[in-house]
Amino acid sequence: MKKTISMVISTLFVMTGAGAQNIYDAVKFSDNGLKGTARFVGMGGAMGALGGDISTIGTNPAGTGIYRSNDAVATLSFSATETKSDFQGLSSGGNKDRFQFDNIGFVFANKIGDHTPLRYINFGFNYQRNTSFNKLMSMAGDIPVVSEDYPLSQTNQMVNQANLMYDVGCDIATLDDNLLSHDNAGWLAALGWMGWLYNPVENAPGYTGHLSRAYGKFYSKESGGMDEFEFNMSLNFNERVYLGFTLGLYDINYKKYSIYDESYPASDPWGYSLESWNRTTGSGFDVKFGAIVRPFEYSPLRVGVAIHTPTYYTLTHRTGAYLIYDNMENDKGELVSGEIDTYRELGDRDASFKYRLHTPWKFNFSLGYTLGTSLALGAEYEYQDYSAMAFRYADYQGGPMWWENGTAKDMLKGVSTFRVGAEYKFLPGFAFRAGYSVSSAAFRDIAFKELPENSVITDTDYANTKAISNYTLGIGYRGKSFYVDLAYKYTAHTEDFYAFHDADVDHEHYENRLPKTHVKNNNHQALMTLGVRF
């Protein structure tokens, strides 16, 4: 997994504002979550081969080819998100409730003929709240020590970045006073140096930490979301072959505020706190192709396949930080306190960098089967290789960003998603639904937020998300033209959370010596869809 020195050196001197991007944000923007109409969610999203629901525009575009009449639909939902963390036996938690408008869309069914090979050409549009980033996270506790001489601390990560700078010929002690504007100075190392949080090694090159065992506290608030606008066309050939195409347009607005605080023995109160503000905005597009086939003329079995291109994003990342340090010892042996505001240091502005992100290709395979008009069964498998995620510069040449791409290859892996669902009509016009879906983890066990030498990132926290499971139930009523569907979705997953990464940067496996914080995430969502077919 180790990167070559040539890669490090070329990355350091070619990139401007390196490290304003990271794989943890990129995975958020490549979300595989279950969303859609109440009927679609109630069946666990396993409708790629069954079709007949507007949400299949986003999984298998051929699904709208099943329509024989026009459809207009809208969905509202209420979600309650709960996060519980446990660090060294000390528990923390956060809750976030939210109403949101999930989707609105329509399908126009255009009949061509009863006896022509091409029976229908259908057109659809769907707005969908693709992803909600709302989340609260907190943890606190005594930070353990590796040995009597080595307490774990976020300041050690500052030291590591300063030493990496030194290794490639950029000594932070010899740079000019305006460290935050220096192209080759990482902000984490710069803030720590300006706040007297670490020292040079005596009579040797490089830097070392000097603080004692700490009590650490962390809090973060994430907000915003990703909206998707989908434009669809589908074809129906002889009621046996359905082809579809969807153009997806995306809008991202992601915000994150975090604060990490370390305090030291109560008999000699001192410490520091580091606040970070981050915001990513931008847009992107992708194209989806799909097909549904009934391979046997007199069988209701349907087979579906779909391919999604990468989503091609152009994104802008803005960041700022604020450090308060209290009773730190300067180079004259004096105790000093103060604050450093990157916004003021940069002349009343945040750091801002534009880049391109290409998410992985996605492949979807599905089966659907109906028994008369009473029972419908669906199953789906989807695959994305997250290690193939690509970061590129935003200039006209759009060259690859070697550090970020190497990190994605080393620390991410392929994600498999399975979905199953059923719908049973127990009374005329009434249907009961149930479903389940699970997505495997995108992060390898060794994954961490790796910061290059000149990164402006100062929020050092990261969470390695495990498999995500969705359990769904639903009920619906279909009248002559009006219909209403209700669904409940319970989503559960765990994370290994770390407030910072403290490891020897030359260690072969880069493991974090900080014990993980065990995090449980639970989300309850109720959805209601209203629709009219005409």
What domains does the chain contain, in order, with CATH numbers? 5-533 (2.40.160.60)
Report the pLDDT value the prediction gives residue 1, as an integer from 0 to 100: 34
Output 253 or 96, whichever has higher pLDDT.
Answer: 253
pLDDT at 285 over 50: yes
pLDDT at 209 over 70: yes
Q: What are phi and psi of 63, to 5 degrees?
A: -60, -30
Query: In the structure encoding, which two tokens stand for residue 337, read together?
Result: 């306190």
pLDDT at 491 over 90: yes
Report the pLDDT value the prediction gives residue 244, as an integer from 0 to 100: 97
Of the pLDDT bands very low, low, confident and very high (cuts 50, 70, 90), residue 53 is: very high
Report the pLDDT value the prediction gives residue 13, as an integer from 0 to 100: 33
Q: Mean pLDDT across the stretch 61-65?
A: 97
Of the pLDDT bands very low, low, confident and very high (cuts 50, 70, 90), residue 19 is: low
Of the pLDDT bands very low, low, confident and very high (cuts 50, 70, 90), residue 269 is: low
Q: Mean pLDDT across the stretch 231-258?
A: 97
Which of the 8 DSSP states describes residue 443? B
Report the pLDDT value the prediction gives residue 333, as an integer from 0 to 100: 83
Q: Mean pLDDT across the stretch 209-215?
A: 86
**Percentage of residues in the chain with pLDDT exceeding 70?**
94
pLDDT at 432 over 50: yes
Q: Which of 70-79, 176-185, 189-198, 371-380 has the lowest mean pLDDT?
A: 176-185
Query: In the structure encoding, which two tokens stand for residue 258, read together?
Result: 């975090």
pLDDT at 7 over 70: no
**Number of other CB atoms surrounding residue 428 within 10 Å:** 7
Of the pLDDT bands very low, low, confident and very high (cuts 50, 70, 90), residue 330 is: confident
Q: Mean pLDDT across the stretch 265-270?
A: 66
Q: Mean pLDDT across the stretch 203-212?
A: 84
Report the pLDDT value the prediction gives residue 507, as an integer from 0 to 100: 45
Instruction: Please name the residues in contact with 405: beta carbons below 8 A apart, sequence gap of 6 or more.
Output: 389, 390, 391
Handedness of CA 476, 243, 31, 410 (dihedral sign): positive
Q: Mean pLDDT across the stretch 505-519?
A: 74
Q: Mean pLDDT across the stretch 59-68?
A: 96
Q: Mean pLDDT across the stretch 212-226?
A: 92
Q: Pairing relation of β-strands 351-358 and 414-427?
A: unpaired
Q: Mean pLDDT across the stretch 273-283?
A: 96
Q: Provide the residue type at 494 as one letter.
A: T
Average pLDDT score over the chain: 90
Is-contact 188 180, C-beta < 8 A?
no
Is-contact 454 162, C-beta < 8 A?
no
Q: Mean pLDDT across the stretch 493-506?
A: 85
Reported pTM: 0.89
pLDDT at 514 over 70: yes
Output 453 or 530, whichever has higher pLDDT.
Answer: 530
Q: Pairing relation of β-strands 335-341 and 351-358?
A: unpaired
Residues 404-413 have pLDDT tens digits of 999 999 999 9
Of the pLDDT bands very low, low, confident and very high (cuts 50, 70, 90), residue 268 is: low
Q: Provide the residue type at 366 as one letter.
A: S
Q: Which of 88-92, 117-121, 156-160, 258-262 has the lowest mean pLDDT?
A: 88-92
Q: Mean pLDDT across the stretch 393-405?
A: 83
Report the pLDDT value the prediction gives residue 6, as an integer from 0 to 100: 32
Report the pLDDT value the prediction gives residue 169, as an integer from 0 to 100: 86
pLDDT at 24 over 50: yes
Residues 108-130 have pLDDT tens digits of 999 998 889 999 999 999 999 98
Report the pLDDT value the prediction gives residue 14, as an integer from 0 to 100: 35
Report the pLDDT value the prediction gives residue 145, as an integer from 0 to 100: 87
Q: What are phi and psi of 161, to 5 degrees?
A: -65, -40
pLDDT at 186 over 50: yes
pLDDT at 266 over 70: no
Closest CA to 493 of 441, 453, 426, 417: 441
Q: Pairing relation of β-strands 135-142 and 215-237?
A: antiparallel
Q: Mean pLDDT across the stretch 205-219?
A: 88
Is-contact 93 56, C-beta < 8 A?
no
Closest CA to 363 of 110, 41, 48, 133: 48
Is-contact 131 28, C-beta < 8 A?
yes
Q: Mean pLDDT across the stretch 285-308?
A: 95
Instruction: Please name the residues in contact with 251: beta carbons below 8 A apart, sequence gap of 6 or more.
Output: 226, 227, 228, 229, 282, 283
Q: Mean pLDDT across the stretch 377-397?
A: 92
Report the pLDDT value the prediction gives residue 458, as an integer from 0 to 100: 95
Question: How far is residue 176 from each of residues 249, 358, 384, measured CA to CA in Å?
Answer: 45, 37, 46
